[in-house]
Amino acid sequence: MKEVFKCMTRKKKVDETPVGSSGGTLDLAPDGNREHKSSIFVEFLDKPILLRDTYNNLSGTNFEELPSILRPNNILVSGVQNDIAFVIGNSLVVFVEHQSTPSQNLPYRMLQYSTHFYERLYDSRAKYYTELLEFPRPSFIVFYNGISEYDDIKILRLSDAFKTVQDQDSASVNPLLLGSLELKVVVYNINFGRNLHLFPEGSAVYQYSKLIQWIRDYQTKEMDLLKAIQTAVARYLGNPVKDEMWTFLDNHRLDVEKWFLPNLN
């Protein structure tokens, strides 16, 4: 990633810390988009080491370097910030959590996201230069944690939104008729017990999904949402195994309720 950003000699200066350096940040928010509610997903997972390990589990990579987190992130789904964007290796990675069934329009939203990101990497005149502009490869990942049944893994494609070619036989022969633009969003079901080969016991996503499941279990016992959150958090803190979620809850006892409520309402 460092090589990519070396060629940005003509870019606008947006941050003092190079994005390609481990632990660096890049401010991508337009003016006026800095005040929003954070979700528990963002607050817990938004740490370089957890993002790196989660990405390694998903991609089969073995990065040791820490990613550069892009702040603040866009609000892609609702009034709650539920996305995390970072650069690792040669990739721009966006994690988004969904409590409801993922929208079929997510590829379109991610297209807007990536355009916004790439535009801010270089000066606006750079696209007219003859030399090749290099960009980090985008990966868009959605973590589904809703109560409706959903596939373990599903790919949403921008091309599904394009109007169907009337002559399918001609399209199979001439790929130009299928269009020239594609963007894929990979959706992973992270409900507790799903995709354990990607989110094994002890991983950050496993810990998060377990806590969410406990809250839902308590709700089925006719607890209101706030009481269910308080009971599940107390149960987690009573666990002798002090993992990342235990430490997170212990350090943010006064904040977890306000972070959980936008997620689960």
Task: Calculate what percentage of the chain has a pLDDT beyond 70.
Answer: 74
The whole-angstrom separation of Cα 163 and Cα 229 is 45
Distance CA 53, CA 202 (A): 11
Provide the residue count of the chain.
Answer: 265
Residues 155 and 258 in one domain: no
pLDDT at 167: 57
Starting at the edge strand found earlier in the chain, the sheet holding 153-157 runs 25-27, 68-71, 83-88, 91-98, 137-144, 184-189, 153-157
Residues 17 and 146 in one domain: yes
Taking residues 109-130, report their average pLDDT: 87
| Exposed / middle / buried, residue 34 (Cβ in 10 Å: 0-12, 13-18, 19+) | exposed
Compute the distance between CA of residue 163 and CA of residue 180 in angstroms, rounded to an integer: 13
- Same structural domain, 23 and 56: yes
Hey, what are 47's tokens? 């740490």
Q: Between 52 and 24, name the one with better pLDDT.
A: 52
22 with 152, same domain: the answer is yes
pLDDT at position 171: 56
Helix (H, G, I), strand (E, B) or coil at 124: coil
Q: Where is mean pLDDT largest: 15-24, 51-60, 220-229?
A: 51-60
DSSP type of residue 265 = -
- The larger pLDDT score, comparing residue 202 to residue 11, is at 202
**Residues 78 and 158 grouped into a single domain:** yes
Please tell me whether residues 183 and 218 are part of one structural domain. no
**Using 50, 70 and 90 to split pLDDT, how confident is the model at 98?**
confident
- Tell me the pLDDT band of 264, cut-offs 50, 70 and 90: low
- Secondary structure (3-state) at 70: strand
Is the pTM higher than 0.85? no
Q: Tell whether the model's pLDDT for residue 114 goes beyond 60.
A: yes
Span 159-214, pLDDT tens digits: 999 877 655 555 566 767 777 889 999 999 999 999 999 999 999 999 999 999 99
Q: Look over the chain and give the mean of its residue pLDDT values, rounded to a whole number.
A: 80
Instruction: Give the span between the Cα atoms of 199 and 242, in whole angstroms.
Output: 18
pLDDT tier at 23, thresholds 50, 70, 90: low
Last residue of a domain, one of 189, 215, 233: 189
Tell me the range of 5-9, 46-50, 111-115, 125-129 where mean pLDDT is highest: 46-50
Whether residue 181 is found in the same domain as residue 240:
no
Q: Which two tokens stand for residue 3?
A: 């090589």
- CA pair distance 178, 9, nearest whole angstrom: 37
Q: Which two tokens stand for residue 247?
A: 């430490």
Q: Give the pLDDT of residue 173.
A: 61
CA 238, chain centre distance (Å) = 30
The answer on pLDDT for 27 being more than 60 is no
Name the token pair of 119. 């535009």
Give the residue from 129, 163, 189 where a domain finishes. 189
- Do 26 and 146 belong together in one domain? yes
Tens of pLDDT, residue by residue over 52-88, are 999 999 999 999 999 999 865 544 444 445 688 899 9
Number of domains observed in the structure of the chain: 2
**114 and 171, same domain (yes or no):** yes
Q: Is the pLDDT reported for residue 234 higher than 60? A: yes
Claim to verify: residue 68 and residue 170 sit in the same structural domain: yes
> Does position 116 have pLDDT exceeding 80, yes or no?
yes
Residues 6+ apart with CB under 8 A from 235: 214
- The residue from 134, 166, 189 where one domain ends is 189
pLDDT at residue 20 tops 60: no
Q: Quick one: 157 and 237 in the same domain?
A: no
Enclosing domain of residue 109: 2-189
Q: How far apart are the first and last CA of the chain?
A: 39
d(CA 203, CA 75): 25
Q: Given this model, what pLDDT does residue 99 score?
A: 77
Looking at residue 70, its pLDDT comes to 83
* 18 and 76 both lie in a single domain: yes
Q: What is the mean pLDDT of residues 221-243?
A: 92
What is the pLDDT, as a whole number, of residue 100? 78
